[in-house]
Amino acid sequence: MLLSMKLTDISPAIALTPLDGRYHKQTAPLVEYMSEPALNRERMRVEVEWMILLANGFEGNGNQTIVPGVKPLTDDEQAYLRSIPENFGAEGIAQHAAYEAKTHHDVKAVEYYIDDQLEKAADVLGHDTQLTGLKTLVHFACTSEDINNLSIARCVKNGVEQVWLPAAQAIVDHLAQKADAYRDKAMLSLTHGQPATPTTLGKELAVYVYRLNRQLNKVKAQEYLGKINGATGTFGAHLAACPDVDWVAVSREFVTNRMGLTWNPLTTQIESHDWQAELYGTISHTNRILHNLCVDVWMYISRGVFAQVPVKGATGSSTMPHKVNPIRFENAEANLEISCSLLDTLSATLVESRWQRDLTDSTVLRNVGVPLAHTLIAFHSTIKGLNKLLLNEPAIYRDLDQMWNVVAEGIQTILRREGYPHPYETLKALTRTNTVINADSIREFIDTLDVSESVKEELRKITPHSYTGF
């Protein structure tokens, strides 16, 4: 009996999904912000900044120490604390994982990891440093969700602003450039799949620029909320330990000025995640607009409006050598659909919690990077597809030349202006005869009209190539 090789025995480990396999290059930028190590690094940032605030105070409290018995941290001590997350690399990831394996709690593992780094502080700062004795200040009065909600908000904010938005903006900028370049390129419109009043390719692309920009502006203006108020949002532990402290002011200061987020003053144990539902709804909407673009471009390719630059050596069909398939846009469509389904699930799930806390949000939040990664793949495919398009002007002109009946709207509207009797019905009788309508038949029709010569001349100027509005 032959023993087959187990793929699970291969090292390094084989990726289960294409996000970390086939499409790793496209999704890799999100690792810096949306991966588990990125989240743990952000948790460390929250923990050490909280320690610094508790020790050194803030302008609103006269820069006085908040927790009794703690001396203000020196500049070197603050720098050392801040170096803990910044130096969190492969060795640190392994160390954190070892703690999590024992505790079965990722935030507690972060606390123990920081404790270890405090033990080493004397080696760097000298034995006079108070950091070695400040383990009790780590995670002071905090519940895990105080750390998690802030960390996740910062991860999502940075991932969206540093990776997602630039990639989306690149598509919009490309479309805007093409819209300007094709602003005068007349083309046949199709409404209900039937020939309609001509338009310009530039105007049609400009529609997408406008639609996408509206959504990107919403994303750019998005609030990212955070809270730090204890196990049930009451500051219970804070007040028990330090009843004379204005913990509401401390919380506002920390979330707003230290974390760079919008302060949520009223929560249960968890931040309510409404901002996430809003953001993911907007991104999902953006995806659907881009999906619409990809479908339209796909159909333009099918009609011959666009030709595609063949990639040297690439296979279109395994059996039909002539084919250059619009695979970039098809790939984008599929990834956008996956992204939307996940984003819609996130939006629906995150805004609900049983009373003051359950763990449904915790499980779901670990997957925020997945739908964003699928959008990155879609963005990459879309921009590659757009860059391979060539305008097929002969095909566009041929479409227009074969559809002179589309000028009927303009002719009948001028006749309405002139008070001509039954203009719509007159043009209907002309164009619905199942006979070919061309330049000659339109000219002959105009010649028969009981209108002035100047109006006839005005009508003769209307062609499928010129009847494009602004």
Would you state the structure tokens that stand for residue 349, as one six-digit string?
């799930």
Please say whether the beta carbons of 275 and 100 come within 8 A. no
Single out the catalytic residue among 104, 127, 192, 322: 192
Please say whether the beta carbons of 311 and 371 come within 8 A. no
Q: How far apart are CA 422 and CA 418, in angstroms?
A: 11
Distance in Å from the first CA to the final CA of the chain = 75
Single out the catalytic residue among 317, 341, 452, 466: 317
Catalytic-residue membership of 192: yes
Q: Radius of gyration of the chain from Cα atoms?
A: 31
In the block, which residue shows the tokens 């979330």? Answer: 255
Task: Tell me how far the alpha carbon of residue 155 is from its chain's centroid.
Answer: 14
Catalytic-residue membership of 317: yes
Please say whether the beta carbons of 179 and 202 come within 8 A. yes
CB neighbours of residue 436 within 10 Å: 10
Q: How far apart are CA 279 and CA 142, in angstroms?
A: 27
SS3 per-residue string spanning 224-264: CEECCCCCCCCCHHHHHHCCCCCHHHHHHHHHHHHCCCEEC
What amino acid positions are annotated as catalytic residues? 192, 317
